[in-house]
Every structure is written in C-alpha cells, then in structure tokens.
Amino acid sequence: MAIPIINDWEKYFQDPHEGLGSSYERVVLNGLLLDLVTQYQVQTALESPSFGFTGLSGINLLALADVDVQVTLEDNERGRLDRIAKLWQDLGRPLKAVYNPDFRSLDYPDRCFDLAFSFSALWFVPELRLWLNALSRVTDKAIFLSVPNRDGLGYKMQLRDYSPERYPQLRLGHIDPPSVSRILTEQGWTLRRSGYFDCPPWPDIGMTKEELLGKWLPWISSCACSKRTDKRRNSPVSILKYYSGGDPEFVVRMQRLQWLEKAAPQCFKRVWAHHFFMLFDRGGCS
C-alpha cells in the first residue's frame, strides 16, 4: 500500500530511483495500457486523479504518449502538477496538465476522452459515486481502474500502519471493486475484464526489493540485472532513463521477471499480486 508516499512524494523528483518493485510494476502496467490502445483505438486519454501510489508521480501514461495518444492528467496539488508538467516537457512528450482542486467534477465535454484511467488513486476521491458518474460522462470507449489488491498478504500487512486519524486522506471503502463495478454498471458500463496484476517474485512489502532480493533471493536479483550484477544492484533504478533513450534494455530486464506473472493461477495471484484492475466499456468492443 506504500502509505508513506503521501508524505514523501517530492523526493522522487529530486532522485528518481524507484527501485526494482516500482520499475517492474511500470512495465506490467504499460503492457496492459498499450493493449487497450490497440483494442479500443484510443487517441485521447485522461488520468484523474493522477497521484496514487509509489514512485515518481505523473508518469503512468508516458507509454501512451509514445504511441501518439493525447494525454490529459489531473492533480489536486499545484506544486506536484507543475513538477509533472516540467518532467514531461523535459522528456519531450506533450501533456495537458489540469488542476482539479477537489475531484468532485470534471470540466470537459461529454465523451471527450476515449479512455479514462486511474491507478491506485480512488481512495483520494471525496465521494466515489459522484466521481465515477463524472468519469462516466466524459469517457467514450473504456474506463480502466486499478486498486490495491485488498486480498493480498502485503496489503493486509501494511494495513497495520493505517488508521483514519493518521491517514485521513485515504478512504479505504473507495477501493472496493464491487462498489466501483456497481456504480459504473448503473451508468450503462459493462465490466469487460478484471483480474490481478503486478505479481512479481517478491512480496508486497515496505523494504526495497533490492534489499529483499540481495538478502533472500540473490538468484532472482541476478536474473533482473546484467552480468555486472554487483554494480547494477547499487545503481539507481528508474524508467526515466529508458524514456529518455538512455536504457533501451530496461523493459527487457523487467520482462525477465514476469515468469510468475504469466504462470501463476488466479488463486495464487489473489494473495500475492499487488494490484487488481477493472476494465469497463460501453459494449462496442469485445
């Protein structure tokens, strides 16, 4: 659940080292999103809210921009939004960055986005039904929502750090998949597909994955890295270098770790995967 991201998100803009766990997660998520671009012929996409989980904020849809999707991104903190916009500019990708102070409405015409997307951010929305109704109104083809895997062992372990008083920003009832599905179904959407993802060969824990792998599973660590294992293990891990053209093998290294993601049955993913996704559409595609 990575609750500390609420308080320390700024550090990633100073040092974009996200670690192996978030880097793997980025590549898996990119694969799902790029499949949707093809399936639904996506030309425009909205990410709102954009702040939701670990690592560097606002870069979830960079892969879509690379296939000429027009991306709009919303945040409710101006300072973070400015940093996100500058990052996209520095990477040479176009972005429409929009300030949304409270995530109660969306100031766009009806059905103006092919795809609406949110990654582990629904718990920051004040009123779930109000927000999903707004998202439904502005979306034409598909809505892809991801929430933390509430059945996962890692999520349950990290809940020990949670209390409503300590984290009033988080509304855990908003990441309940049946509730999300019921609201969108009432708005005429069909739950086309759902399932667990981000299922790497390490648990969803608070420590860095490099530390875990170095201590417990050195053979997996060597699989993730090149022949210069020791050097890479101590080097920053970030997808930004890949997006800037400086690390073309980044995706390949992360994909080598997807053997569990591809082979594990759903019953195992239910307790091990870090996230759960829901894909809704209006029934025009299958």
Place 95 in a pLDDT band, splitting at 50, 70 and 90: very high
Please give the pLDDT value at position 179.
97
Residue 134 predicted with pLDDT over 80:
yes
Span 128-142, average pLDDT: 98
Report CA Rg, the chain.
18
Residues 6+ apart with CB under 8 A from 266: 195, 196
Crossing angle for the helix pair 128-138 and 177-186, to the nearest 10 degrees: 50
SS3 state of residue 77: coil
Question: pLDDT band for position 286 (50/70/90)?
Answer: very low
C-alpha distances out from residue 206 to 1, 196, 199, 202, 283, Å:
8, 20, 16, 11, 40
Do 64 and 75 touch, CB atoms closer than 8 A? no
β partners of residue 73: 47, 97
The whole-model pTM stands at 0.90
- Mean pLDDT value across the chain: 88
Q: Tell me: pLDDT of 75 over 90.
A: yes
Higher per-residue confidence, 166 vs 226: 166
Write out pLDDT tens, residues 9-59: 898 999 888 888 899 999 999 999 999 999 999 999 999 999 987 789 999
CATH 3.90.550.10 fits 5-202+263-281, yes or no: no
The fraction of the chain above a pLDDT of 90, given in percent, is: 71
CA angle 221, 34, 191 (to 5 degrees): 105
Give the other-Cβ count within 10 Å of 234's Cβ: 9
pLDDT value at position 167? 86
> At residue 174, what are phi and psi to the nearest 5 degrees?
-80, -10
Look at 105 and 224; give whichever has higher pLDDT.
105
Dump pLDDT digits (tens) for 108-129: 999 999 999 999 999 999 999 9
Residue 1: predicted pLDDT: 46
pLDDT digits (tens, 9 = 90+) for 268-285: 999 999 999 999 999 754
- Rounded Cα–Cα distance for residues 151 and 271 (Å): 6
Please write the tens of the pLDDT for every residue from 219-260: 444 554 444 444 444 567 899 999 999 999 999 999 999 999
